[in-house]
Amino acid sequence: MSERLPCPALYDGYDAGHYTLPDDVVKARDTYRGIEAMPWPKPPRNAWETVQDVATATVDAIHNGTKLPDVQAIEQARQAERIYQDALDMMGACLDLAAQRARTTLGDNALPIITSHLRPAHDQTWQTYQDAHRTLQEYGEHEPRRLLSAPAKVRKASDTCDQMAERYTAIREAYTDLRIRCGLQCADDPTGKYTAVRNHHELHPTRWANARTPWHGLTTRHYLDWMTDHGGQLWLPTPDEQTEAVKAEAHIGQTFTPRAA
């Protein structure tokens, strides 16, 4: 089976217009898609069937005293099968090579994709969401079903929250896809606490590994509401930035008092 195009979530979010991507990354994806769209050759007639046809024609020719068939047709059928198989192998190799190039291009551009493409879109989405959420706070209601008779500005703010929640989900999925594919995990943050929230332990000051966060299980919109109301610092960090965040909050939630020197 041919290799698949890496990071499908990253490309899906790009196609939906949620963020930009480097030209080289897009070109590598388009090359793969172009090869994928090429028409595959149609299978030839089975050589074994040709053998049977020639055998039948030979018996008929002897029976009727007519000219014997050309047995070269059997070799031609086998050659057609070999050419067909070669074409299939070549097409598979093309897809593999294009996927490998796309993977290499992603690896070469992984950090710039985060810092120069996903992050600006993320930060704009998060800011737009917070602004719309504050409008709903001023009105005193957030649930869409209770906003049917609200002023147009308020209903627009609710629609904006829905749109930004969808966009936020797409950006996070792309970021996660890229981190896993390109090996951008942070050794100092093995459970990935700081991949979404910079001030994780300020919001949830515990070191228990199985302790559920206050935002556990929330829908994306309710999650963003909670973060807005509680000062969550949402971000898209690089591994080095994750390490800095871990160190910055290392003192929060400690269960012991450091021994004096």
202: CB partners within 8 A, 6+ apart: 231, 249, 252
DSSP letter for 195, please.
G
189: CB partners within 8 A, 6+ apart: 195, 242, 243, 245, 246
* Single pTM value for the model: 0.83
Lowest-pLDDT range, 30-44, 55-69, 133-147, 231-245? 133-147
Residues 95-154: tens digit of each pLDDT: 999 999 999 999 999 999 999 999 999 999 999 999 999 998 887 766 776 676 677 888
Asked whether residue 260 carries a pLDDT value surpassing 70, the answer given is no
Q: Are the C-beta atoms of 10 and 178 separated by less than 8 Å? A: yes
CB 181: neighbour CB atoms within 10 A? 17
Considering only residues 165 and 47, tell me which one the structure prediction assigns the higher pLDDT: 165
DSSP letter for 168, please.
H
117: CB partners within 8 A, 6+ apart: 19, 20, 21, 22
Per-residue pLDDT band at 157 (split at 50, 70, 90): confident
The most confident of the ranges 41-45, 146-150, 168-172, 187-191 is 168-172
Burial letters 31-55, b for 16+ CB under 10 A, else e: bbeebeeeeeeeebeebeebeeebe
Considering only residues 211 and 173, tell me which one the structure prediction assigns the higher pLDDT: 173
Query: What is the reported pLDDT for 261?
Result: 45
Per-residue pLDDT band at 254 (split at 50, 70, 90): low
Asked whether residue 224 carries a pLDDT value surpassing 50, the answer given is yes
In DSSP terms, 197 is beta-bridged to 234
Asked whether residue 197 carries a pLDDT value surpassing 90, the answer given is yes
Per DSSP, helices labelled H in 41-151 are 47-64, 72-112, 119-139
